[in-house]
Amino acid sequence: MLKSITTEQLRLGMYVHSIPGSWINHPFWRNSFLLEKPEDLQALFAAKISELLIDTSKGLDVLSEEELAEAEQVEEAQDEGDPQLIAAAAAITAAPARVTRVSTDVERLRAQKIISSSRDTVMSMFAEARMGKAIDIKDAIGLVTEITSSVSRNADALISLARLKNADDYTYMHSVAVCALMISLSNQLGLSADATRQAGMAGLLHDVGKMAVPLDILNKPAKLTEEEFASVRSHTVAGHAMLRGIDGIGSDALDVALHHHEKIDGSGYPFNLKGDQISLVAKMGAVCDVYDAVTSNRPYKAGWDPARSIKHMAGNQGHFDPMVLEAFVKAIGIYPTGSCVLMHSGKLALVVDQRMNNLLTPKVKVFYSTQNHAYLKPEIIDLGHASDKIIAYADPGKWGNLQLPNADL
């Protein structure tokens, strides 16, 4: 939907549909674009324009009354000196400090600690939900803040670790993984710090409605009956109802809990919404939810490697918003960490780290020769400074039951 707003209402993540007047009055060579860069936002503030048109179907809308009220609560908390309220509000609304990206192996140690503590936190929150009690939002806020910091330093570390689930903790660790993926995708889309944290919270709580599904159905290794599948599908409405009664839950968490299984062609559930009827954050939730689901081991199937998963998702035309899926691929890398790839030399390698300035030349760990059908001594190669190159994704099963190396550098 097109909406006329003042420049004071602008924020990162909005899609500028048109800027009135001649291009001489503003510094942009095009009139329509996603507002991703802080410097572009500052340029619009400084330009000689008072209002412009945004397209809310392609980007963020102006702050809602609820969000404005939340900001006022922060100011009131600061005035009243309530330490607990200040801490909770600041965790959502404060601008993040500038973070320097670190290598995957450096961040992996911190990410392991976050993963370990997050499992207990999410299990506790979901146990409360299963018993019909309200979730303690302060615990969720603290966890989202930790995950946001880790993703800012290096998204690959925590996301690759969160994929390593077992059947007993799948539901809980899936929530952690989707939280991290939502934050990484938000960063790629250039959303504001507040919108990014809200998206992370939505990812963390998107499947809370599964606590209303009987455990024997939720963990059933065999194919579900029609009645059992209907029970699982009801988790979106159940989750929305659980979250709606919790003080401090934002609109994004409610939206994603209810709509993360909608598809842009209208074939999703629970309401068969299509296209622009689905919000940006719900479209993001759909992509992140499915990606983690298909890359994870489940009771009824082994997880696919990241590359195969992306190929599968891209082939499901009508399921995902193309713009969101493209941004997601850029966020996790053309060759995501953990992907098995075939090199020009005929060697197989595992992607172990990204080179953010060139996603086509990640760091890889070479481990197998397809020409000699023999394992090689694992060797790390930075393809940004090597003669060898990736020519295709690889299915290690093609060469037998290969043992993949770990993703450590």
- How far is CA 256 from each of CA 201, 244, 351, rounded to the nearest angstrom? 10, 12, 31
- Look up residue 184 and give its amino acid: S
For 66, residues 6+ apart whose C-beta sits below 8 A from its C-beta are 250, 251
- How far is CA 184 from each of CA 8, 114, 119, 401, rounded to the nearest angstrom? 27, 16, 20, 33
Query: Does the pTM exceed 0.75?
Result: no
- How far is CA 399 from each of CA 27, 103, 395, 402, rounded to the nearest angstrom? 55, 31, 8, 7
Q: Where are the beta strands (DSSP E) in 12-165?
A: 15-18, 33-34, 51-55
Q: Which of 178, 177, 173 is nearest to 121 (CA)?
A: 173
**C-alpha–C-alpha distance, residues 161 and 334, integer Å:** 19
Whole-number pLDDT of residue 373: 92
User: 215-253, pLDDT tens digit by residue?
Assistant: 899 888 888 999 999 999 999 999 999 999 888 899 999
Whole-number pLDDT of residue 30: 60
Q: 137-153 and 104-130 are packed helices; what angle lies between their axes, rounded to 10 degrees? A: 160
Is pLDDT at 65 greater than 70 in this prediction?
no
- Look up residue 386 and give its amino acid: A
- How far is CA 270 from each of CA 101, 273, 274, rounded to the nearest angstrom? 39, 8, 11
pLDDT band at 361 (very low <50, low <70, confident <90, very high): confident
- Looking at 167-176, 246-255, 318-327, which range is the least confident one? 167-176
Is pLDDT at 171 greater than 50 in this prediction?
yes
User: 259-302, pLDDT tens digit by residue?
Assistant: 999 999 999 999 999 999 999 999 999 999 999 999 887 766 77
- Looking at 9-23, 247-261, 383-397, which range is the least confident one? 9-23
- Look up residue 43 and give its amino acid: A
Q: 137-153 and 155-162 are packed helices; what angle lies between their axes, rounded to 10 degrees? A: 120
Whole-number pLDDT of residue 170: 83
- Looking at 85-99, 167-181, 253-267, 306-320, which range is the least confident one? 85-99
User: 131-165, pLDDT tens digit by residue?
Assistant: 988 888 888 898 999 999 999 888 888 988 887 77
Whole-number pLDDT of residue 348: 96
Structurally, at CATH architecture level, domain 99-332 sits in Orthogonal Bundle (1.10)
**C-alpha–C-alpha distance, residues 32 and 277, integer Å:** 21
Whole-number pLDDT of residue 87: 42
Residue spans per domain, the chain: 2-55, 64-94, 99-332, 340-399
In degrees, to the nearest 5, what angle opens at C-alpha 58 toward C-alphas 141 and 147? 20
For the chain, what is the largest distance between any 2 Cα atoms, rounded to a whole number of angstroms?
Answer: 72
